[in-house]
Amino acid sequence: MKHWLCTVLLLLIHSLAPAQNPATWVVEGYISTEKGEALPGAQVTLDDAVSAIAGANGFYRLQHGRRPTVVTARRLGYATQQVPLDGKVFRGNILRLDIVLSDENIPLQEVDIAAKKIRELAKEDFLSQIFDYDFMGDSLLLLIRERKKHFIRLVSGSGEVVDELELPGHPTLLQHSCTGRFHLAGSEFAQELVVQETGLDTFPRYALSEFRSMVEPCVLESRGYYFFRKMGRLNQSIRYWYRDPSGEWHTLLQINRDGATREMRYALDSMAAGASMVLQPNLPPNWRGQPYDMGFDRERAVVQGDYDTKHLLAMADYNSQISHIGWLESLRMDSVYAPLIRQGDTLLLFDHEHDAVLRFDAGFSTIETLPIYYHHSTGWQKALLQDAVTGDIYAHFSTPSGHVLKKLHPQTFAVEAVFPLPEVTYLAHHFRVKDRYLYFLGQPNVNIPNTSLYKVDIR
C-alpha cells in the first residue's frame, strides 16, 4: 500500500512539473522598411496571444509560454506581414526574426483589443497622426499624416481602402458642412472635398476667411432654412441666426452667461493693465470657486481681437500678464453649451444655461419649451451625441469608473438608459455615434503619445 502511494505521488509530481516551470519561448528582431529604415511603432503579435510595439530603433521582443506558430507585424500604411514559424530553428528557445514591411495602402482591419466590445480601426505610430474622421454613408473618411505628407483616405465598411488622396497644404480639419458636403481646412486655406463611391477629389482652394465666416458657422439645414451659430468672446455667449428659403436673414436667439461675461471683461481689462491676480483676500490666484464678478459691473473691455489662445499669448508681453492666461483659459473652458439638433423635421435647441430645450420646426409653425435636468448630474461633459443612423441622442458623462453615455427620451429628454463604457480611455476625444456604436480617438497609454481610432458597441 505504501509503495502504491509513493508511485502515485511521484506520477503526480511529474505531471505537475511542466505546469509549474513552463519553458519560455522568445521571438525578437527588428522591423524595417524595404529601404532598410527602422519602423518604430509597428505592432508585432505572436499567435494572436501576446503583442508588443517596436521601439524607436524598430526592435521588438515577445515571450510565449509555448512554442509559437506564427508572427504577425502590422503598421498603418504598410502591408501586414505574417511569418509562419514552422521549420524555424530556435536556439535555446530564442529565435531572431527580422521582418520587412512593404510600403503600400492596405485595408484597415478591425482588430480586437482588450475588451471584446471595442475595436481598433486605425492606429498612429511615431511617424503618423490621425487628425480627424467622419462618416460617409457606410464608409469612413480619415484625415491623416504619414511622415510629412497629409492624406484623406476613404475606407469601406469592410475595412478596405477604396481611395487615398494626397493633400498639399497640410490640412488638419475635416468639416461636414450643413449642406452635406465635406471641406478640408488648414492654417492658410480651405477646399471642398469631392467624395464619390469610387474615389476622392478636391475643388480649388478658397480663402480660409470664407470657411470661418460661412462654412464653419452653418450647423444645420432643414426644409430650405439654414441655421448658423457663433460663439462670443471666450465662449461666454452663443448666437443663432438663420436664412429662410427666400434668402432673408433672421436672428433666432442669443444665450449669455451674464456673471461670467462680467468676469471675462474684468479679466481682459486686468490682463491689459497687468493688474495683480489677487482679487480677494485669503484666496489663491485664479480660484474659480469665488464669483469674481461680484462688484464688477463695468461694461467695458479695452482689449480687442478674437481672444483665441494664440492671441492672448501674444498680448502677454510681461511676466505679470502671463498669469492671467490661466484665468482666461479657465473661463473659455467653462463655456456656454447650447447645441442645435435635428430629428426629422423637428429641431431641438438645448439651452443648458436655462435648463430648457426649445422644440420647433423650420417654418416655426409650432414652438414649445420643455425642461431638462440631466446635465446637473455629476460628470457632465457638456456634450450631446446624436446617432447618425437612428437619431437617438446621448448625453456624455465621465465618472471615476470611466465614461458613461445616457440615452435621452425623444419626447421628454429624461434619461431612459445608461451605458457605462469602462473600455473608453480617459485620454479620448472626437466622440461620434453611428448605428449604436461609439467612435472616438483615444490614447491607450499615457506614456506613449500615439492615438487610435476606436469603435465601441454601446447596445
Stretch 99-122: mean pLDDT, rounded? 62
Does residue 108 register a pLDDT over 50? no
Is residue 228 over pLDDT 70?
Answer: yes
Q: Which three cell numbers stand for residue 167?
A: 493633400
What SS3 string covers 211-266?
HHHHHCCEEEEECCEEEEEEECHHHCEEEEEEECCCCCEEEEEEEECHHHHHHHHH
> What's the mean pLDDT in 349-357?
94
Q: State the Cα–Cα distance between residues 246 and 354, nearest whole angstrom.
A: 32
Please compute the mean of the pLDDT values over residues 192-197 and round it to a whole number: 86
Does the pLDDT of residue 10 top 80, yes or no? no
Q: Report pLDDT for 84.
A: 86
pLDDT of 17 strictly over 60: no
- Closest residue by Cα to residue 380 from 405, 365, 397: 397
Q: Rounded CA gap, 19 and 28, in Å?
A: 24
Dmax (CA) for the chain in angstroms is: 104
Cell numbers at 174, concatenated: 475635416
* The listed CATH number (1.10.3720.10, 2.60.40.1120, 2.40.50.140, 2.60.20.30) that belongs to domain 22-101: 2.60.40.1120
Please tell me which residue, 35 or 348, carries the higher pLDDT value: 348
Residues of the chain with pLDDT > 70, as a percent, come to 81
Q: How high does pLDDT run on average in the chain?
A: 81
H-helix or E-strand spanning residue 398? strand 393-399
Contact 190, 211 (CB under 8 A): yes
Three-state SS for 310? helix
Contacts of 436 (CB under 8 A, 6+ apart): 387, 389, 390, 392, 457, 458, 459
More confident residue, 164 or 3: 164
* Average pLDDT for 181-203: 89
The residue with greater pLDDT, 223 or 79, is 223
Between CA 438 and CA 456 the distance in angstroms is: 5
Q: What is the pLDDT of residues 301-350, one digit of tens each?
A: 334 455 667 767 766 666 667 777 777 788 788 889 999 999 988 999 99
How would residue 141 be classed by pLDDT, with cut points 50, 70 and 90?
very high
Q: Which three cell numbers stand for residue 236?
A: 461666454
Q: Rounded CA gap, 323 and 334, in Å?
A: 18
Of 77, 74, 205, whose CA–CA distance to 150 is shortest?
77
Which residue(s) pair with 73 in the sheet?
Answer: 44, 81
| DSSP codes, 91-120 | BTTEEE--EEE-B-------EE-SSTTEEE
pLDDT per residue as tens digits for the range 42-71: 888 888 778 788 887 888 888 888 888 889
Whether the pLDDT of residue 364 is over 50: the answer is: yes
Dihedral angle over CA of 132, 135, 136, 138, nearest 10: 140
- Other CB atoms within a 10 A radius of the CB of residue 91 amount to 7
- Can you give the pLDDT at residue 55? 80
Q: Residue holding cell 464669483?
A: 291
Model confidence over 155-180: pLDDT tens digits? 887 778 889 999 988 999 999 999 99
pLDDT at residue 58, rounded to an integer: 85
Would the pLDDT of 9 be above 60? no
Structure confidence at residue 3 as a pLDDT band (50, 70, 90)? very low
Residue type, position 1, single letter: M
Task: For residue range 377-423, list pLDDT tens digits in order.
Answer: 989 999 999 999 999 999 999 988 889 999 999 999 999 999 999 88
- pLDDT 10s digits, 283-298: 444 444 444 333 333 3
Q: What is the 3-state secondary structure (H, E, C) of 404-434?
A: EEEEECCCCCCEEEEEEECCCCCCEEEEEEE
- For residue 449, pLDDT beyond 50: yes
Looking at 246-388, which runs of residues are DSSP E strands? 249-256, 340-343, 346-351, 356-361, 367-371, 380-386
35, HSE (Cβ side, Cα atoms, 13 Å): 4
Give the separation between CA 122 and CA 108, rounded to whole angstroms: 6
Beta carbons of 72 and 82 less than 8 angstroms apart: yes
Residue 268 has pLDDT above 90, yes or no: no
Overall average pLDDT of the 442-450 stretch: 86
User: Where do the structural domains in the chain lie, given as residue ranges?
Assistant: 22-101, 105-216, 258-333, 373-459
Give ∠ CA 130-313-332 in degrees, rounded to 5.
Answer: 70
Q: What is the pLDDT of residues 142-152, one digit of tens each?
A: 999 998 899 99
Instruction: Output the pLDDT for position 302.
Output: 38
- With bands split at pLDDT 50, 70 and 90, how would you rate the model's confidence at 104? low
Query: Percent of the chain having pLDDT more than 90?
Result: 44
Average pLDDT over residues 245-269: 87
User: Is a pLDDT exceeding 90 seen at residue 182?
Assistant: yes
Q: Say how far residue 111 (Cα) sits from the centre of its chain.
A: 19
Strand partners, 100: 32
Q: What is the pLDDT of residue 114?
A: 41
pLDDT given at position 326: 79
pLDDT at 87 over 60: yes
